[in-house]
Amino acid sequence: MMRTRPLKVALLGCGVVGSEVARIMTTHADDLTARIGAPVELAGVAVRRPDKVREGIAPELVTTDATALVKRGDIDVVVEVIGGIEPARGLITTAFEHGASVVSANKALLAQDGAALHAVAEQHDKDLYYEAAVAGAIPLIRPLRESLAGDKINRVMGIVNGTTNFILDAMDSTGAGYQEALDEATALGYAEADPTADVEGFDAAAKAAILAGIAFHTRVRLDDVYREGMTEVTAADFASAKEMGCTIKLLAICERAEDGASVTARVHPAMIPLSHPLASVRGAYNAVFVESDAAGQLMFYGPGAGGSPTASAVLGDLVAVCRNRLSGTTGPGESAYAALPVSPMGDVVTRYHISLDVADKPGVLAQVATVFAEHGVSIDTVRQSGKDGEASLVVVTHRASDAALTGTVEALRKLDTVRGVASIMRVEGE
């Protein structure tokens, strides 16, 4: 039976995503009512600039007092799309305390304080949903914590930042350098004026923390995620990758140790074989590759950012939360029962591609090979080229720990015949 009294929604933030959420709530009102079982009503919109014209939003709904809005007591769901840590954290907590469930797109806050927010939500018997926090329109969080709840997930690896994928794809397809590709991304609106959060991996690291926590039923904070940006990736790196039948992507990788006793979460550039599904993800798109015991290999692909895609994920959560309100239930909360330790980056085992500048003379290769052997790092292939007394030596290893590789590189730098380490790149997806 359809309920006639509307469910009231408070919207915190009315930028690119918030304005699209408001638009869809209005234009799809009848469909949302049918899907939920009751009408939904936009009861208030908290903004910083009240004088800005917002098409489709009645001026009387707009307020600068977000705290008063979430404290009203008649709000059923608060949608938070303002981002950042504060005031978002305080507003979400206040919303729970005053009877509202919350839908958020705030990856930074959830990566830092997700456990605490889940605790407050549980204390007040309310929902905290955040599908839009990780990969825009791509359904990912709900499949991980609901559809695959009966499975054991071993690895989640993906491209979770559209800006960096656009830049790296441009470098790969056109031979452009990093700065040239970044300038193009900025001109087209894919990169912010200050792209640091994207290109240095902060954005992807927050998403990796969220994904790892859900996948492994373990609390993983942003500080637990190893992070390495992509600003040092060069056209020469792409040339080397192509010689190996690979390309380069900035990857978020969350994986369970082989013995199942710990997990790791990391973000860094990596070479991946052209045969891997992630290698074909072009432009500003996102894709996440999941490996589990029973389901096997799954890939989720689509637009990972932008007003409409992100709003789609927000509205999906809104429908789910509203349905829960009507039935008097709540959806899945935090699942951290496994409480597995998060291992440091030094314990991570993978393959490596190392490019060295060396003297072009007899015995250099033997010296380099000896250093690798002394540190327990097995060499897969070696390629050497050079002239006029200088040479380039490219070494691809078998799987080795990050700590062993770090020790190897430190020892290589001490050799008189090694002029420098041109680049070190991890090789994933094999």
* Catalytic site positions: 207
DSSP secondary structure code for residue 154 in this structure: E
Name the nearest CA neighbour of 346 among 246, 241, 266, 420.
266
In angstroms, the Cα distances linking 313 to 42, 57, 255, 304, 318 are 17, 21, 25, 10, 9
Cβ atoms of residues 267 and 228 within 8 Å: yes
Q: Which two tokens stand for residue 268?
A: 């860094």
In angstroms, the Cα distances linking 115 to 94, 205, 206, 219, 222 are 16, 17, 14, 7, 12
Q: Which two tokens stand for residue 171?
A: 């470098």
E strands of 37-159, at which residues? 40-46, 62-63, 77-80, 101-104, 128-129, 153-159
Residue with token string 């990796």: 208
CB-based burial label for 56 (10 Å; 0-12, 13-18, 19+): exposed
Residue with token string 């504060």: 86
Type of residue numbered 12: L
CA 114, 116, 120: angle at the middle one, nearest 5?
A: 115
